[in-house]
Amino acid sequence: MKRFVFLLAALAWPFSPALAQSPYENLTVEQIMARSMTELAPGLYSFGSFGERSLVVITDDGVIVTDPANAEHAAAMRAAVAAITDAPVRYMIYSHQHWDHVLGGQIFKEEGATVISHANCVAHFERRPHPELVMPDATVQGGEVIELGGRALRLMYFGRNHGDCLLVMQLEGTDVLFVNDLVTPYSVGLGFLPDYDPGEYRRTLLELEALPGWARMTGNHGIPVAPKAALNQRRRYIEALMTAVKDVLDSREYQGEALYDAIELPEEFRNMRGYDRHIRRAAERIAYYYGMGW
């Protein structure tokens, strides 16, 4: 593995380990909106709220943050870091190109942080510029390690899945995998999946499941931490959806809009957050995958 080194001068969250039970049902609006810093392992934190989260690594020599999201979130994250350490933020890493992850990072750039993304993100940033986006200072291909203060953050790339520049991260010495947007624990995710490649999405989830050395995951949305089983559930949901849509298409019994209404998955998946709202559009997306090759 490449060592990518830049040289520069507990709030508990309610969630049920039983995958058939959604941990979201009993959350209040205040819990959903409130930002918090949740320690996942020594020096490793998830910062944010239900809607937007970032990974934070704190060392004696400095801090690594990811996904500033927007100016308000970034400022709140900077204040939360300052409550723990006086060390400066040395690196800001974009997990991928979507605006709900990459805006608002000027506060860290002004502090002197080096901004990093996967190389493929740059074309997206240049094609769709945004005034609140700080362009990367350096890019990676995947497999690099950011070393700081005796800690090492691995940046992993699994090819095309949710777009073509998504990085999965793990702080060495911890059992926590930072999985961005591929899994929102106990949720079906967005329905139409506009830039997901369904087949490559499934492949990536299988590769992540097989990756050794992790038992818990955190991400950019939802609860701060969940067991590996949450990723397994999302992968099985995608497989069940793809199988159900393929079976209906092959039967030729349903045409047009009736095809999407005919999809009904097993009870476990119907209990996932967002199923009723998103299943019809998710079925439509998979139908295009089989019918048009995208």
Q: What is the mean pLDDT of each run of 10 residues along the chain (294 residues)?
A: 37 39 63 87 96 96 98 98 98 97 98 98 97 98 98 98 97 97 94 89 98 97 95 98 96 88 94 94 94 90
Res 112: pLDDT? 98
- In this structure, how many other beta carbons lie within 10 angstroms of the beta carbon of residue 206? 14
- For residue 263, give Cα distances in angstroms to 86, 126, 179, 266, 284: 54, 39, 28, 10, 10
Q: What is the largest CA-CA distance in the chain?
A: 67
pLDDT of residue 14: 37
How far is the CA of 213 from the CAs of 150, 151, 216, in angstroms?
Answer: 19, 16, 10
| d(C-alpha 172, C-alpha 175), whole Å | 8
Q: Is residue 5 part of a domain?
A: no
Handedness of CA 235, 92, 76, 193 (dihedral sign): negative
Q: What is the pLDDT of residue 16?
A: 39
Q: Tokens in use for 151?
A: 């800690």
Domain holding 168, by residue range, is: 29-186+198-237
pLDDT at 18: 43
- Is the residue at 265 inside a domain? no
Q: For residues 117 and 135, what is the distance between their CA atoms, to the nearest angstrom? A: 9
* C-beta of residue 59 within 8 angstroms of C-beta of residue 151: yes
In a domain, residue 95? The reply is yes
Q: Is residue 294 situated within a structural domain?
A: no
pTM of structure:
0.90
pLDDT of residue 4: 43
Q: How far is CA 266 from CA 139, 198, 213, 215, 253, in A?
A: 42, 19, 31, 26, 20
Q: In the chain, how many domains are there? A: 1
Give, in order, the Cα–Cα distances in Å from 63 to each of 27, 227, 260, 288. 31, 26, 47, 43
Q: Quick one: CA torsion of 82, 65, 22, 217, rounded to 10 degrees?
A: -120
In a domain, 72, yes or no: yes
Domain contains 216 = yes
274, 230 contact by CB (below 8 A): no
178 and 219 Cβ atoms separated by less than 8 Å: yes
CATH code for the domain of 168: 3.60.15.10
Is residue 293 in a domain? no
Give a yes or no: residue 118 inside a domain. Answer: yes
